[in-house]
Amino acid sequence: MEQLKRFEDATVLAIDYLKREGKHAVAPAVENASGLEPTGWAVLLRPYEPEMRTKGGILIPENSKQRIEVADQRAVVIAIGPEAWSDEKRPRAAIGDRVLIGKYAGMFCTGPGDGKQYRIVNDKDIFCKITNEQHEVSYV
């Protein structure tokens, strides 16, 4: 019960901070159809799905090393465990945020609800939010 109270207090502080900064307190709507709900400090992410063709129409090989490396480090936040960032002044990310994570952080899993690939990482494995992307990217 005490942990839930700490989580609620952290959430209120985060919303107050966002309001003061003139930012939206609610991230873009992201539905968690994975059938997975993170616990503790875990954060559920949907990995980045890189384009399979260049702008000129050239197919990128499935095993392209650069393509795989980029995909392993970018994701969108789908769900957040109740204790994530509870020891910090404000959360590093919210549901719907695009983030950069450690290359070997967490584990990959398939969502039993929709069969898509997800990644579960600890809250400390999220290093930054992606706030401006030069080109449109797809998150599976």
Tell me what pLDDT residue 63 has.
Answer: 64
pLDDT at 70: 57
pLDDT tens digits, 43-94:
999 987 766 677 787 777 766 656 555 556 889 999 999 999 888 888 889 9
Encode 59-90: b = buried (16+ Cβ within 10 Å), e = exposed. eeeeeeeeeeeebbbbbbbbbbbbbbbbeeee
In whole angstroms, what separates CA 86 from the centre of its chain? 17
Q: Which of 131, 134, 79, 138 is nearest to 109 (CA)?
A: 79
Both structure tokens of 106: 């967490």
Helix, strand, coil abundance in the chain, percent, nearest 5? 20, 25, 50
Task: State the pLDDT at residue 4.
Answer: 46
- Residue 126, pLDDT score: 92
Q: What is the pLDDT of residue 89?
A: 85
Helix (H, G, I), strand (E, B) or coil at 29: coil
CB 138 within 8 A of CB 51: yes
Question: Is 8's pLDDT higher than 60?
Answer: no
Q: Where do the domains of the chain lie, and which CATH numbers do they carry?
A: 2-139 (2.30.33.40)
Label residue 130 by pLDDT band (50, 70, 90).
confident
